[in-house]
Structure 1
Amino acid sequence: MTTGSSGNGAGSSRADANRRRIMDVALMELLRDPDASMDQIARAAGVVRRTVYGHFPSREALIAALTDGAAEAVIAAHTAGRAGVDDPAEALARAMLAVWEIADRYRLLVAMAQRSVTMEGIKQRLTPVREDCVALLRRGQQEGVFASRVPAAALAYVHEQSLFGLMEAVNEGLLPAEDAGRAAAETALRAAGVREERVGELLGLVLGGGG
């Protein structure tokens, strides 16, 4: 019995490793070629086509799984970015910069996912980030740090949509990717109603790595 259990564990571990490798390779292949087929992904991953389909029944299912991973990374980045920062404005700026670092990696994936996962599906996956942002914005409004009278819940959607807009702007060549993190933080601060001079101070602080 012990041997069988150990074998099953090893098999499960191999399957998990195969799935992870397929997802890692698929992300690289799709970012290189958005039209990459399941056959191409299988060859790049060094497995047979049947193995890929064993984990992901369709190309859409594979993209959905990659989108799940991207959303998890964004959630983790948002949490880490504002961790230990008491000032709501600084926390917002740091969180937006941290989120953009992840969003920049996945922006082409998001563009593809809109065709299969849909924007509504992507927004649902980002609910924890939005809820976290609402709490931060509400606290900042209560403390007088954010002057905007737009309700915090609505303002969180504005910030979310500005990120999607910046991703599209970079994809369309309208904005250099290296400038988009600053743009994301600056847009969020201005939308929240942070004073002009404070916006400049905060951007200097967070972009300069100051504490």
Structure 2
Amino acid sequence: MTRSPRSDARANRAGILDAARSALALDPRASVDVIARSAGLSRRTLYGHFDDRDALIRELISTGAQRFNAIAESITDADARLALARLAARLWQEAAHVQFAAALALDEDHVEHTAIALAPLRRAVAQLVRHGQDDGSFRADLTAPTLSRLIEEVARTVLARTDASSSSAADLAVRTVLSIAGLSWRETDQLLAAHPDITEIAA
């Protein structure tokens, strides 16, 4: 039985996205020709799915953002400290995708699209920050929007600049986020000792 044209088109599109992730992870400036060859398709076929290279990159950002947004939605801890730590740990599970997306997000041409795609994740962090400030868990010397933005920027920097294969990388990411939120290193030690599953998730 042969596959329908629609099935072939879906397979080609998925193959293009996979090839683009691999090619751009190796070389952020990889051309459409390189990506098409990596996917085993012609340049013409690629353009049948995406208008141009920017459209392809926007799709990669969107699909990556869906994963991050779903992770944010899955966090249900009532304790804001636990929720923020678990969010950072689970995002680290996506380290390879996060680091690739972070490189794209730092490209000024895609900052606006990235911000829109990650809006649910940003809302989740903002809600966590407000909750933590209200119950005294997080620092209150900064407004909630400012603290949320600081957490986002520092987390993105850590994810973009830390070797995801390092055994201590996940722990570093969680500790950095909690530090920015206002926890001391002793408080973070106590929290992670009481809930070892948080960093084990990202191990």
TM range (shorter): 0.7 to 0.9
Please, which of 148, 151, 154 is the counterpart of residue 156 of structure 1? 148
8 Å contact from structure 1 (residues 89, 140) kept in 2: yes
Does residue 122 in structure 1 map to residue 114 in structure 2? yes
Query: Residue type of the partner of 1:122?
Result: T
- C-alpha distance in 2 between matches for 1:208 and 1:100: 11
Deviation at 1:112, TM superposition (A): 3.8
- C-alpha distance in 1 between matches for 2:109 and 2:59: 10
Query: Residue type of the partner of 1:88?
Result: A
Q: 1:21 to 1:208 in 2, by over 3 A?
A: closer
Select between 118-127 and 56-65 the one with higher mean Cα deviation.
118-127
Q: How many residues align?
A: 196
TM-score of the superposed pair, with normalisation by structure 1: 0.80
Does residue 197 in structure 1 map to residue 186 in structure 2? yes
| Partner secondary structure for residue 107 of structure 2 | helix
Which residue in 2 is equivalent to 1:100? 92
| Partner secondary structure for residue 171 of structure 2 | helix
Does residue 70 in structure 1 map to residue 59 in structure 2? no
- C-alpha distance in 1 between matches for 2:103 and 2:94: 14
Query: Residue type of the partner of 2:152?
Result: E
| Partner secondary structure for residue 29 of structure 2 | coil
Percent of aligned positions that are identical: 32
8 Å contact from structure 1 (residues 68, 125) kept in 2: yes
Please, which of 44, 47, 53 is the counterpart of residue 41 of structure 2? 47
TM-score of the superposed pair, with normalisation by structure 2: 0.83
Does residue 14 in structure 1 map to residue 8 in structure 2? yes
Deviation at 1:116, TM superposition (A): 6.1
Query: Residue type of the partner of 1:34?
Result: P
Q: CA RMSD in A?
A: 2.5
Kindly name which structure, 1 or 2, has the bigger radius of gyration based on alpha carbons: 1
8 Å contact from structure 2 (residues 16, 35) kept in 1: yes
- C-alpha distance in 2 between matches for 1:122 and 1:15: 26
Query: Residue type of the partner of 1:21?
Result: G
| Partner secondary structure for residue 34 of structure 1 | coil
8 Å contact from structure 2 (residues 81, 178) kept in 1: yes
Please, which of 118, 143, 167 is the counterpart of residue 159 of structure 2? 167
- C-alpha distance in 1 between matches for 2:160 and 2:141: 28
- C-alpha distance in 1 between matches for 2:52 and 2:105: 13
